[in-house]
Amino acid sequence: MTVNDLQSKLAKLDGRRKVVVYWDDENETHLFEIDAISVERGTPKKLADGKPGFTFDRKGPAEWAFIAVSPE
């Protein structure tokens, strides 16, 4: 998802609405508060299992926005 995609989706919501991140595994749903958003430089990569990964490096070719979360 890009920043524009996220902004577009959030723009449709009431600005006072609380936003949380959720992760649903086979056992339960986990909720996370958003603590911060930062832009980091590095190199995107694919992990062995096919999931996306990222190596942080100040000289990397990409800048990604990261959302820091903590359990609610």
- HEC sequence for 3-28: HHHHHHHHHCCCCCCCCEEEEECCCC
Q: Taking the model in full, what pTM does it have? A: 0.76
Which single residue is written with the structure tokens 């959302």? 67
Contact criterion met (CB below 8 Å) for 64 and 27: no
Rounded distance, CA 30 to CA 11, Å? 25
- Residue spans per domain, the chain: 36-72
Q: What is the pLDDT of residues 8-63, one digit of tens each?
A: 999 999 999 999 999 998 899 999 999 999 999 999 999 999 999 999 999 999 99
